[in-house]
């Protein structure tokens, strides 16, 4: 058995035996999500929870002042920021901003992969957000939210993390680009769905992680996976399927015209999305 097949076999066996070590959400994200699910939580109490993490506090304030929320008056405190963002959105926003903590490694090659995956993911997020904003503007359909879109795009390829972690644990065998690329291509979707289940996310997030590359999976109505696919295609992650993705997006009304994705408004929205994580 080749080393390449050995890695795939090990990963698949661990998935089937439920022994694959899956990443855990950063502690602060867990605290925020738990607090947000408390029916008695208020804005000040949520500000106190977020305030326990200086880095997240700074990023929440930054996003509350960004073009992403379209507000001109600046806020300077976490309580003001939470008030502006709102309890409904803060759960997903805080989780999204904490995600970067997962993409780190002490192994040089794996670290490069982590950095590359995070950079690619941010591009997918930015393009997906810009596409959703364009869709909302043209259709007046507000069923899909920007905060959920952000998180869905951020976790779309989360299945790469256990693969890279496995490579880091056995770097002398598996820390090889050929093996890693093949494993990521073949099993990251299944692993991503497992992570979403363990983290307690709903079916919409599970579908995004498992099926974003599978164009045979088409939800009954427009959903977050449609925008993740467009975001991925525009980010160079689906080169062999790019035309098919765009055709499907037009057919489903996600995009009115592919040329709109080159417009100044789209580019401005995309750059604003990137700034969330700058």
Per-residue pLDDT of the chain (278 residues; tens, 9 = 90+): 455 567 677 777 888 788 888 888 899 999 999 999 998 999 899 999 999 999 889 988 888 887 666 666 788 899 988 888 888 888 888 888 888 889 988 888 888 989 999 999 999 999 999 999 999 999 999 999 988 999 999 999 999 998 888 888 777 766 677 778 888 888 899 899 989 988 989 999 999 999 999 999 999 999 999 999 999 999 999 888 999 999 999 999 999 999 999 999 999 999 988 888 87
Q: How far is CA 167 from CA 19, 26, 160, in A?
A: 16, 21, 11
* Helix residue spans in 104-241 (DSSP H): 108-139, 146-155, 160-169, 171-174, 177-198, 203-211, 224-234
Within a domain: 200:
yes
- Judge whether 85 lies within some domain: no
Helix axes 224-234, 242-251, angle to 10 degrees: 140
The residue count for the chain: 278
Is 168 a member of any domain? yes
Q: Specify whether the CB–CB gap between 161 and 23 falls below 8 A.
A: yes
Question: Taking the model in full, what pTM does it have?
Answer: 0.89
Domain assignment present for 111 = yes
Identify whether the C-beta of residue 159 lies closer than 8 Å to the C-beta of residue 167: no
Residue 59 placed within a domain: no
Domain membership flag for residue 83: no
User: Total structural domains in the chain?
Assistant: 1
Which residues constitute the domain of residue 264?
3-22+103-275
Count Cα atoms within 13 angstroms, Cβ side, for 14: 17
Task: Report whether 187 contacts 159 (CB < 8 A).
Answer: yes
Helices (H) and strands (E) in the chain, counts: 15, 0
Please check whether residue 39 lies inside any domain of the structure.
no
Find out whether 124 and 156 touch, Cβ atoms under 8 Å. yes
Q: Is 42 contained in some domain?
A: no
User: Which CATH number goes with the domain that contains 262?
Assistant: 1.10.3210.10
């Amino acid at each position: 058995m080749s080393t390449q097949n050995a890695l795939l076999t090990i990963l698949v066996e661990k998935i089937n035996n439920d022994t694959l070590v899956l990443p855990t959400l950063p502690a602060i994200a867990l605290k925020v999500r738990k607090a947000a699910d408390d029916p008695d939580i208020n804005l000040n109490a949520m500000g106190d929870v977020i305030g326990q993490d200086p880095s997240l506090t700074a990023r929440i304030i930054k996003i509350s002042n960004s073009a992403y929320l379209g507000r001109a008056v600046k806020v300077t405190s976490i309580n003001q920021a939470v008030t502006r963002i709102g309890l409904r959105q803060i759960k997903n926003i805080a989780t999204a901003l904490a995600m970067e903590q997962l993409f780190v490694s002490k192994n040089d090659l794996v670290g490069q992969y982590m950095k590359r995956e995070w950079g690619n993911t941010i591009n997918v997020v930015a393009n997906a957000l810009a596409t959703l904003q364009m869709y909302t503007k043209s259709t007046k359909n507000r069923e899909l939210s920007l905060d959920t879109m952000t998180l869905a795009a951020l976790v779309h390829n989360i299945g790469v993390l256990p693969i890279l972690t496995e490579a880091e644990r056995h770097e002398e065998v598996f820390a090889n680009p050929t093996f890693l690329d093949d494993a990521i291509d073949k099993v990251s979707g299944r692993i991503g769905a497992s992570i979403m289940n363990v983290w307690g996310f709903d079916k919409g997030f599970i579908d995004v992680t498992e099926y974003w590359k599978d164009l045979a999976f088409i939800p009954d109505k427009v959903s977050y996976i449609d925008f993740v696919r467009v975001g991925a295609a525009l980010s160079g992650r689906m080169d062999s399927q790019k035309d098919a993705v765009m055709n499907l997006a037009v057919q489903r009304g996600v995009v009115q015209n592919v040329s709109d994705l080159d417009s100044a408004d789209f580019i401005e929205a995309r750059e604003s999305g990137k700034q969330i994580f700058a």
